[in-house]
Amino acid sequence: MKNIALIVASGLGIRVNASIPKQYLKLGNTSILKLTLLKFINHPKIDAVRVVINLEHHDLYCEATKGLEDKLLPPARGGERRQDSVRNGLQSLSLLPGIKNILIHDAARPFISEEVISNVLKKLELLKAVDTGISLKDTLKSKHPNAIYNRDNFYLTHTPQGFDFQTILKLHNKYQEHIFTDDISLCIEEGIEVGFVESNAQNIKITTPECLTYGGLIMQQNYITRVGYGFDIHKFQPALDQNNTIKLCAIEVPFNKSLSAHSDGDVALHAITDALLGAMGEDDIGMYFPPTDEKWKNTDSTIFLKHAYMLLTDKGGIINNIDVTIVTEKPKLMNFKDMMRKKIAELLNISNNQVSVKAKTSEKLGFVGREEGISVSAVCAITLPKNY
């Protein structure tokens, strides 16, 4: 692991005036922390990501990072001050082999661009410390004494700040009794040359309620909503045994017939998978898991759905909602709909209120009315980065 990102998410975020720390607040349907993490997880040159958290917020962290568990190193314990949290994170990473560079980033900056991350990593090929920031465009003055300064000599610091790993680890250990408001300050104190990368203007730190409003506007500008539609149909066949069940939305439903299928026949998950793939502009489920391939015979259909979900997260996308309609005369599904809804939400790491499952009959019309099979349609709305 050459390049590591350390995301500092242990603060309380008091100024935002919310009931939970700001990094766990949502912009749209996604937490600020998750939006931030996706920027580093999906960067081609970042090998691993670790988050530093307040252990009292562990449940909030787990909720915010649903679906990313296998893409993150276990979280590190935060400290009383920001620099204590960073030092704890660095020390936890010192146990891992082969780390060359580390990027330290505030969790509350979810709009960092891929270009800025790349530029920091490139400069680290020549330097041991690289700062990011925004050059000043306004006139810079002081109140006491009254004075005007050359704005070309100043910039507003952002994150990520990049470092040679061993260098910043040693500095944090050396200066732990001192007070610094960012990590580059340690390098300046030590006399280490610091490079500079111009940050993107949208890389704001969510700090106040006004920042949340502005963040919502940035989301609208940088992300696009896409909608996909999925449909599947399976016919009935004789029951496999007297205790036969069929799978719908990964829930076992007792029925005196089975569904004809190459996989486990979960017609509902197949429709949802196609809806998710369609929203991304991808091919249908049969192209990824062809029914002619014996490898997928009797396969659990949750594998298909999770594959589509991983494609979405790899693109930096999120699910807004899923709407499923199951059309069948029998079995009756009234007592199973809530279980199905909760199962879909669990599989896709979304809230129950983002899923709707409806059961309809065809009023005795057509093949469904003749009780020859089940059809399912699904609609899925997602949010994707515009440049995905």
Binding-site residue set: 232-234, 262-263, 270, 284-286, 367, 370
Phi, psi angles (nearest 5°) of residue 333: -115, 5
What is the separation of C-alpha 31 from the centre of its chain, rounded to a whole number of angstroms? 8
Q: Which residues are annotated as a binding site for a divalent metal cation?
A: 232, 234, 270
Beta bridge partners of 226: 382
Q: Which residues 6+ apart lie within 8 Å of 26 measured at CB?
A: 32
Q: Which residues 6+ apart lie within 8 Å of 282 measured at CB?
A: 308, 311
Q: Containing H/E element for 171?
A: helix 165-174
- The contacts found for 133-142 with CB under 8 angstroms, 24 or more apart, are 133/157, 133/158, 133/196, 133/198, 133/199, 134/158, 134/198, 134/199, 134/201, 134/203, 135/198
Contact by Cβ (8 Å): 117, 43: yes
Amino acid at site 305: L
What is the separation of C-alpha 184 from the centre of its chain, rounded to a whole number of angstroms? 28
Amino acid at site 30: T
Contact by Cβ (8 Å): 164, 170: no
The pair of three-digit structure tokens given for residue 210, joined into one six-digit string? 């006004």
Give the number of other CB atoms < 10 A from CB of residue 117: 24
